[in-house]
Copies of this chain bind each other. A is one copy, B any other.
Amino acid sequence: MTFSARLAAAVRLTGTPLCVGIDPWVDRLPGRAALGATPARADLADLARRFGLAVVDACAGQVSSVKPQFAFFEALGPAGMAALADVCGAARAADLLVIGDAKRGDIGSTATAYAAATLAADAPFPCDALTVSPFLGPDTLEPFLTVAEANGRGLFVLLRTSNPGSARWQAPVADDLATWIDSTNAARGDLGPVGAVVGATHRAAMDKLRAAMPHTWLLVPGFGAQGGSAADAKAALRPDGLGALIVSARAATFPDAPSAAYDADPAAWIRDRVAATREALAAG
Residues of B within 8 A of A133 (CB): 103, 105, 133, 135
Contact of A227 with B by CB under 8 A: no
Q: Mark A112-131, 1 if CB is under 8 A from B, else 0.
A: 01101100000011000000
Q: Binary interface profile of A, 79-110, with partner B (CB < 8 Å = 1, else 0)?
A: 11110010000000000000000011111111
Docked-complex contact B41 and A124, CB < 8 angstroms: yes
Residues on B with beta carbons closer than 8 Å to the beta carbon of A117: 71, 74-75, 77
List residues 1-34 of chain A with CB under 8 A from any CB of chain B.
Answer: 23, 25
Q: Is B135 within 8 A of A170, CB to CB?
A: yes
Q: Are A138 and B165 in contact (CB under 8 A)?
A: yes
Which residues of A are interface residues toward B (Cβ below 8 A)?
Answer: 23, 25, 41, 69, 71-72, 74-82, 85, 103-111, 113-114, 116-117, 124-125, 133-140, 158, 161-170, 172-173, 176-177
Copy tally for this chain in the complex stands at 2
6 more contacts with CB within 8 A, not counting A72-B110, A103-B105, are: A71-B106, A74-B117, A78-B79, A135-B158, A136-B169, A137-B166
A74 to B78, CA, bound (A): 10
Residue contact B173 to A116, C-beta cutoff 8 Å = no
Give the docked Cα–Cα distance between A172 and B23 (Å).
Answer: 33
Nearest neighbor of A169 in chain B, beta-carbon distance: B173
Q: Pick the 7 closest A-B CB pairs, nearest first.
A: A77-B124, A137-B165, A139-B165, A78-B82, A71-B113, A135-B135, A172-B172
| B75/A78 in contact, CB under 8 A | no
Find A114's partner among B74, B107, B136 (CB 8 Å cutoff): B74
B residues less than 8 Å from A158 (CB atoms): 135-136
A-B contact pairs, 7 of them (CB 8 A): A71-B110, A71-B117, A77-B124, A135-B135, A137-B166, A137-B168, A138-B165
Say yes or no: A75 contacts B169, CB within 8 Å. Answer: no
CB distance from A176 to the nearest CB of B (A): 7
Q: How far is the CA of A162 from the CA of B71 in the complex (A)?
A: 26
Asked whether A71 lies within 8 Å of B169 as measured between CB atoms, the reply is no
Q: Residue of B at shortest CB range from A137?
A: B165
The CA-CA distance from A64 to B135 in the complex, in Å, is: 29
Minimum CB distance partner of A76 in chain B: B124
